[in-house]
Structure 1
């Protein structure tokens, strides 16, 4: 069973990579400039791999060594690729902050500290990484055919249904922010929101709690800390996580929520909203909608009708930069995320800028101090 849990954790890694590769931020801030072809090919390849993971997992469970090795290699590639697309997203957010006036040039030392500020250097460095990822993906697809892995849309193995969603999210959490800094910097915020969610236990109405804050403050990381909190896992009968991003398509979101459940409803003949309603009916659940941008109240109300079929004490936790989004969702209580303290900003910058303890020139460490002062609470 332990081995199965390890292999089952691979699907969310690849799904997260697909979502990151499709983020609107990459196109909006032109961070894939010069890499468009490789980017497009990668986005086409990932669904192919997702379609055969189920069969690979079942073969691995049956002690097929080839399938086991294929899954382990896929896991390695997915980890590395997620880290690369985290860099792309970070660069997009940096450009967004600069466009919005939150970023100021600090001189030549800063260019050395953050070489991604030079677009040519960024394109060359990241282009090489993207090509290596694509090569690895192509090899995996070739081996996929060699091993005879099949596209599987229905899961026949009952063991899959015994896996709880917290294992999925723990895997995501390791990728999204491996730094212990994030946990310490948002410990108080985590406890505050956990108390809010647990305090809804006797509430018959659906609780909606948005985390609102500017880019770079760690809204998603905070949501993950809450999601993985033992008190939360014990309190809610069902936990679900969906990354929404820019497109708020109600049917697609409903489908994603159903597919995020360890106990899926495979009656695909029914509309996604009907399947969602059946999944949630009578259960006290926590649903995280990450990175919501929707300002169309009609779309939210249409989704909310199904979400209200959960049991007493159910809650929706969302992350967004837009206060208007929180208002549209009829939030019971909006949690405005404050800026980070300077000590944590410094830790984040040092961790990203220097590879090791021996690679910290005193001159650049002084520059870090100047950068921290000008960050004003946001690492962007």
Structure 2
């Protein structure tokens, strides 16, 4: 619960709200929500301890969880839209590409988001007020960690989803398929900021045919929330139960005993080395050559958890960025015979800074507009 509360707090602190210049005191709503979240975090430890024996407290926590997840979804949407607007409107040819975001649509969107934010603030205030009846004991919450990617991920991906990461893929495969690996379990960290393709790279190697044959057991675990050893163990076991930690760790050790396994821990934020070692100790009964791939935005996590040197992802080069954009924006990935459109597109791609997520987002937008019939530049010239 604390992890999602921190997610929302950081989302409210982001530049997304400034980017939209939300109306009707939306900035006030955001500040109010931040203060309320800080107050609620101080009571979470006591509330969660009492929830098992008190249905009213349990229901209060459920209401809090619901509003926090709704706020997280809203802020995710704001961040994505801010990224798209920023890419398009801050370049030298913004006037020509205003097709992507009409002024009227921006105003409507801003009002809708402001209304939703205000409703979330009202719900959060109501929940905060209701907690007074429980007389929770305040505890000093843990320092705000760096929480980044939020969405749940999964193991499947199509091979053509990865562009420009062949070198990194080959390095990871060489580690995974190393027949001379002597450690009971080795860890390969993939490090990079959001949108660079850490998860996609992990998906590609996880599904590689040689990897599938090499490991007797494979598990994909999207960590995302708080780094909880019991929850991660249960995900590896593919079980949801009310078992005590002692039973869970026994089940986990039995599962991996005598097997060469590959486990992906996607979206790791935890920077507490002690918690990491607790999990690692439970994963030492596998066959030599067992592997764990960790994806993270934190270089500290990469260094702390890694057996191998971290695979550091950087932005795509210009040629690869352009090829990716064309594959998303134009039919069959072929460049159109339109000099001005190509010039505009090149400027937009440069502003993406080699970030695959941004390139894909803008490319899809261009493709959608082409499908709407806006194939010539007359529409651009009228703006």
If the TM-score is normalised by the length of the shorter chain, which range does it land in? Answer: 0.5 to 0.7
CA distance in 2, matches of 1:194, 1:87: 38
Instruction: Find out whether 1:339 has 2:326 as its counterpart.
Output: no
Query: 1:112-138: CA deviations, max 9, x gaps?
Result: 34679x755667999xxxxxxxxxxxx
Q: 1:321 and 2:300 equivalent?
A: no
Question: Cα gap change, 1:86/1:226 in structure 2, threshold over 3 Å: closer, same or farther?
Answer: farther
1:202 paired with 2:181, answer: yes
Question: 1:243: Cα distance to partner?
Answer: 0.8
Counterpart among 336, 351, 359 of residue 374 in structure 1: 351
CA distance in 2, matches of 1:86, 1:365: 35
Bigger Cα Rg: 2
8 A Cα contact 2:221 2:265, kept in partner = yes
The question of whether the paired residues in 2 share the 8 Å contact of 1:208 and 1:316 is answered with yes
8 Å CA contact 2:190–2:294 kept in 1: the answer is yes
Match of 2:249 in 1: 273
Segments of structure 1 that go 5 or more residues without pairing to the other structure are 1-20, 35-84, 127-167
Distance in 2 of aligned mates of 1:103 and 1:23: 30
Supply the distance in 2 between the matched residues of 1:370 and 1:105 (Cα, whole angstroms). Answer: 11
The Cα offsets for residues 209-248 of structure 1, whole Å up to 9 and x where unpaired, read as 0011122111111111100111101111111101112421
CA RMSD between the two structures = 4.5
Is the CA contact (8 Å cut-off) linking 2:322 and 2:346 kept in structure 1?
A: yes
- Report how far residue 109 of structure 1 moved: 3.5
1:221 maps to 2:200:
yes
**Aligned equivalents of 1:350, 1:115: Cα separation in 2:** 23
- Equivalent in the alignment of 1:136: none
Q: Normalising to structure 2: TM-score of the pair?
A: 0.54
Where in structure 2 are there 5+ consecutive unaligned residues?
24-71, 114-153, 359-383
Task: Work out which of the residue numbers 145, 151, 155 in structure 2 matches 1:169.
Answer: 155
What corresponds to 1:105 in structure 2? Answer: 90
Distance change (3 Å), C-alpha of 1:354 and 1:253: same
Distance change (3 Å), C-alpha of 1:367 and 1:299: same
Give the TM-score of the pair, scaled to structure 1.
0.55
Task: Check conservation: 2:196, 2:315, Cα contact below 8 A.
Answer: yes
The CA deviation at 1:376 is 3.2
Cα offset, 1:185, TM superposition: 2.1
Distance 2:111 2:264 in 1: 36
